[in-house]
Amino acid sequence: MRQPWAWVIWLATVLVLLSITRNFLYLVIILLCVIFIRLALRKAGASLPGPFSLWKIAIWIITFATVFNALTSHYGATVLFTIPGNLPLLSGKVTLEAMVYGATNGLILVGMLASFMVLSLALPVRDLIGLIPGAFFPVAVVTSIAVTYLPTTLRQFQQIREAQAIRGHQMKTLRDWLPLLMPLLVGGLEHAMQLAEAMTARGFASTKSMFGGQRIRPRVFMLVGIVLLAAGWLVQLGRKPEGGIILIVVGAILIIAGLWQQGRQSHRTAYHRPGWEWEDILTVLITCCILAIFLFPFPGINRESLYYDPYPKLTVPQFAPVLGLAILGLLTPGLLVLNRKPAKGLAQES
Amino acid sequence: MRTRIFSVVIYLAATISGLLVLLYPFFLPAVSIQSGYSAFRAGEMPLMMTLLLGLCLLVLIIEAQGPLMNTKLVALLGVLVAINSALRFLETAIPGPGGFTPIFFLIILVGYVFGGRVGFLMGALTMFVSALVTGGVGPWLPGQMFTAGWVGMSALLVRPIVRIIKTKHVKPGASVNVPEIILLAILGLVWGFLYGAIMNLWQWPFIVGAQGQSWVAGLGFIETLQRYLAYYLITSLVWDTIAAIGNVLLILAFGIPTLKALRRFQLRFTFNYTPDDDSISPIHSEGIAR
């Protein structure tokens, strides 16, 4: 799977599923699917993008959410123990239901975090930057400069630190960071000056179409869109949520139309544009089917099982096998990654 | 002038819409009581909130990137964002105490020196780039970008106060560095708490089903605010106090030399090239800052 949009659609599906159910049975299956894909990607050779460990963060989030909710929410019928005294917010009964509610919240957050980690693992940063729409051309350029310059900045920081250490500089107080920070900042700004001159010399931003100027029509679209969005948001909280949703959709369409018009002015080229392979199309089709099953009231599917509340007394949540099987469709990209044949050259080498 | 007014209207509309989306737990109770809308769709709200906040953010970014962009600003922002993201990367790898983070110091100073638009982009893009490189992309990102953008944009508010101090209380030719830095430190202090308080709103109605400090549909504004304050005191006050103190210390310790460096480069970055020959193509002058 090389198509970034296929991954984005997969991610959006995971987020929608995590958002519409509070049944921990479904949440656990979603989380396991996401973890499976993460492991599949790592097995396929994707490197970790950052310093985070999913396991550590997951344990921390679920533990914190469970303990916090158990200590502060005193609802529920199954009392585990009671905190005596008059401690504000804490004193009272600690219930099993509150723990389950907290753990469910933790599971949702971990699911979201893990799914975004999968996206970061599946797509290189340049592909993520490539997803930035044409309307944001200047921002995309700034982002790609920043991403490119970041390793250099870290290297410079290390060099400055070593140079200062050789001179006997010691880090004792906050002010001792100044001899490290200022050369980094001034060096960076000098580099920006040279970069700007090089870009100007190569004719960057030398045509009006490059930055698009400030055309009025797309901006009017966006202004009206924003106003409709705010109005729709307020309306959907009130008496007629359907009307509000319609306003929000119209507002979003207007904003997207404005962005599209703005984006048409910038011409973007790519050395290699990832195409749509059968694996990408299959993933998109399956995720769309999952979304349809979860969002539309098909006969024979127990949608009640999506809405689970452990309060007031903990019960075993309902489970619809069709929904459970549908969730397993999220495994598609992972299975495809595992079944991917190695490139010819690499196969011969190994 | 008309374009400028139009621009301000877009800024205001996007900012107010973003605020309405973020602050819905406070005004929702009144609306839901009127409508008898007790079974609130708690599951859908965070996703919807993220989408709407994302759209408001897109409009703000497109407005901010428009008139200011030229090669110098693109390069300047790219490098400053890289430096700030490197600081966040280091902070992620070697966590400081509590909510201490070195990134707001530079966002505030850049917003103050280069203006609200650059400040907004600096804040928003710092969050975006550092999330890309640390794998921290998530549904919280639009909220982080929005709020960090406001941090940079709000630094502009210090300028008129400094101007008043300069004209009324400082002798001609004397330096205003000290009151300037104190004001920026106060801004850093305020944002240390405010950033945490705003970011909590993304999850507050969603994460906790607790009594006393959790969000419950159907309560009045005052009680909701009391509950939020209780939640904030329990979960975030210590964390955010460390963040606020960190901002103040960084601005006091590094503010003056950083401002000097930024101003020196601001002069170099904003030079005007005025050709003698009127026949020069306007196309070729676009890459030069005005």
In tens, the pLDDT along A74-120 reads 778 899 998 888 776 677 889 999 899 889 988 988 898 888 888 88
Contacts with A98 from chain B: Cβ below 8 Å: 209-210
- Taking alpha carbons only, the member of B142, B131, B136, B140 closest to residue B61 is B142
Q: How much is the average pLDDT of A273-300?
A: 90
Whole-angstrom CA distances from A23 to A79, A101, A306, A307 are 22, 10, 6, 6
pLDDT score, position A208: 55
pLDDT score, position B158: 93
Residues 158-197 of B with CB under 8 A from A: none
Kindly tell me if the per-residue pLDDT of B95 is higher than 80. Answer: no
Cβ pair A206, B71 in contact under 8 A: no
pLDDT score, position B141: 85
Best mean pLDDT range from A70-84, A236-250, A322-336: A322-336
Distance from CA of B168 to the nearest CA of A (A): 32
Kindly tell me if the per-residue pLDDT of A225 is higher than 90. Answer: yes
Encoded amino acid at A166, one letter? I
Q: What angle do CA B46, B50, B56 make, to 5 degrees?
A: 145
Q: Bridge partners of A94?
A: A81
pLDDT score, position B38: 43
CA distance A14 to A107: 13
Show the tokens assigned to B175.
Answer: 């330096």
Distance from CA of B28 to the nearest CA of A (A): 6
Kindly tell me if the per-residue pLDDT of B13 is higher than 80. Answer: yes
Relative orientation angle of helices B24-35 and B177-207, to the nearest 10 degrees: 40
pLDDT score, position B285: 45
Q: How would residue B287 be classed by pLDDT, with cut points 50, 70 and 90?
A: very low
Q: How much is the average pLDDT of B76-83?
A: 92
Q: How would residue B78 be classed by pLDDT, with cut points 50, 70 and 90?
A: very high
Which residues, 6+ apart, have CB-to-CB distance to A1 below 8 Å?
Answer: A7, A122, A277, A279, A280, A283, A333, A336, A337
B206 touches A at CB < 8 Å: yes
Backbone angles phi, psi at B249, to 5 degrees: -60, -45
Of A156-160, A297-301, B193-197, the least confident:
A297-301
Cβ pair A210, A141 in contact under 8 A: no
Cβ–Cβ below 8 Å for A143 and B132: yes
B/e letters for B82-104, b = 16+ CB within 10 Å, e = fewer, are bbbbbbbbebbeeeeebbbbbbb
- Across the interface, of A52, A109, A145, the residue whose CB is closest to B75 is A145
Per-residue pLDDT reduced to its tens digit, B125-169: 999 988 877 766 777 788 889 899 999 999 999 999 998 888 877
Cβ–Cβ below 8 Å for B213 and A186: no
Q: How much is the average pLDDT of A7-23?
A: 89
Which residues, 6+ apart, have CB-to-CB distance to B210 below 8 Å?
Answer: A68, A69, A72, A73, A89, A98, B231
pLDDT score, position B34: 45
Best mean pLDDT range from B88-92, B258-262, B272-276: B258-262
CA distance A217 to A238: 32
Q: What number of residues does chain B have?
A: 290
Q: Is the pTM of this model over 0.90?
A: no
